[in-house]
Chain A
Amino acid sequence: MAYKPQFYPGKTSVAQNRKKFMDPSYKMEKLRSLSDDDVVLMLGHRAPGSAYKTIHPPLTEANEPDDPIRKIVEPIPGAKTGDRIRYNQYADSMYFAPMVPYLRSWMAATRYRGVDPGTLSGRQIIETRERDLERITKEIMETEQFDPARESIRGCTVHGHSLRLNENGMMFDMLQRSVLDKSGKVFQVKDQVGDPLDRKVDLGKPMSEAELKKRTTIYRVDGVAFRSDEEVVGWVQRIFTLRTKFGFSPKV
């Protein structure tokens, strides 16, 4: 029987959401439309419409030495053209955000090629070539894995993940990169490092509390508790035990 990856154990809604986000064959539901320029503006790495800066000549002109690995691995578009390596970083609120930092990294490993993810307690960063980064950022911010109130793109001053929400339901942001207006829509007014944008970017309406609880990937005692998912607990314990025993193995 052919091996079919399961990506994540468990039967609760949180486990199922984690599983589908990590599964590259699952097509994310698109919730909002952003233009390419919107994404470039929010990232703040280059001016919209400007050429990509390069750090090496295109691989076709590089005359690289003969190497079997180079023949097996297809370079990503940004590597082919020699783009700079840039980053995006997200902070996810622990109040039922659709994404959690660890899942972002697991997802980067299963869905995207040529990326370098880094996980911290409340934020996650992805580094890759500039044009690939823009494509990934667009996919993340347009689809169900992003909620404009509980998640935001934050290159610096990321504090907010573990704080209580503001009264209007937005995650605390010292730099106020995204702001809720009176009509209930969220607008991005600054780029990811807090520099003002020339024009605000419409991120749409935040999800309702019920919708967030349905889509969330965070285990919480007041939502889906981690201990309520026996299969997940069993697997986490198994991996932890094996890893610990392996650490004591003198032969390895």
Chain B
Amino acid sequence: MTYVEYKQLNPFQRFAHNFKKFILNIPHALASFFKAIGKAIVGFFTGIGKGFKNYGVTFVKGDWATKLSYLIFGIGDIHKGKYYKGILFFLTEVLYALYMIFFGWTYLQKFNTLGTVETTQDFNELGMPVTVYGDNSMLILLYSVLSIVITILVFAVYIANIKDAYHHQVMRAEGGKPTSLKHDVKEFLDGKYHITLLSFPTLMIGIFNIMPMIFMILIAFTSYDQQHLPPGTLFTWVGFDNFSSLFNFVDSATKATTFIELTKWTLIWAVVATFTNYILGMVVALMINKKGIKFKALWRTLFVIAIAVPQFVSLLLMNQMLQTNGAINILLSYFNGGVNPQIQFLNSTTLMARLTVIIVNLWVGIPYTILSMSGILMNIPEDLYESARIDGAGPVKTFTKITLPYMIFVTTPQLITQFVGNINNFNVIYLLTGGGPSTEQFYQAGRTDILVTWLFNLTMSSQDYGLAAAIGILVFIVCATLSLLIYNNSKSMKDEEAFS
């Protein structure tokens, strides 16, 4: 399509065109994404290769102290007079050795089986029953991951130690002296200030974001469920069993049915919830921001209050208001000749419950759309409207030719973020319906449960941890792909702006 042809389209056709382009662009974006990953992997291995080369070269060129640093951390530094650093390196090695001998190794050696010694019942000398605890698979897995992470970190220290030893050797050969402790500390407040600032947050993110993620991914490949609960019983590696049970309609029919049905509903829910919120929110935002409408701040505040009140309060309240004796039915009874119609919004039929959830979600979600749209509407350059008016365009024309295309263009990435958000919209479903109406056909789920709330039930009430982790990974893959696509697109958009 040429530029001229594009310009002749109306905004909806343009939107359709852009949308199509976006969808068609997905394979390309994916390809470039994987290409980038491939490049990163190649870079990683060339890096390792280079590292090995340097490792060998340094060993050949190093003096006796540098060579000894290959075995004992910090010797090189101590020999060259950089005492505090050498001692720190040495302490790292000692601590690591102690950790591994007394703690890490006992777990790490069982990593491939996740434990073999069962917990048994025995009798002590008085004839009283006692439990003899065997291996705890959970702790084995956890501490193995921890040990592996620590080993990688210590390896990094090891490399740093060799580099530092060689650096000081070269420095001495050139007649230089190592810097003092005081100087180094000062450097951490100035030239290397980023290390001081970033180390604490990075450590926290590493321990509580990245490590749990690794841990969770590993759990998905184990048989950790209610029949295999440590410390009483062991669990072990089962490969892709958890994943295949979600698609196997023969051996695990209920699980597979639940998974397929919930996936369908999750997608319907995400699409409907996102688009209804977007369109209706846009309409209200346009009404509030229309020229000549007064009390704009008042109208906006009315809606913002609905966001400001904690969501759990408004949703629990809504849940109560939708009961058979709740406020909504009472209100309806005024129109019904004083008789309470006793409508069961949340737990009669599937359709009713789903419709109610979507409508309540409108009440929850529209204010968010209004808030973000208002900002964008105010940002549309005023001179665009002025020149349109001079050219003789009426209000309808300015709307379809300026406002609408502008809004759609700016908010498309936001639309996808909201879509991902709705796939993970735990609060609305869980607090409003709790998954109901309940059904026998599903495994640990009700008719309005989405994948995330099912995952929650599996973890919290039925303790099917392995299965839950597998579902988590599947949802995660979908969401992460969408997120990365937006991320790539918005990054290019930013670059575009940089040129203007």
A and B interact = no
Residues of chain A having any CB pair with chain B under 8 Å: none
Residues of chain B having any CB pair with chain A under 8 Å: none
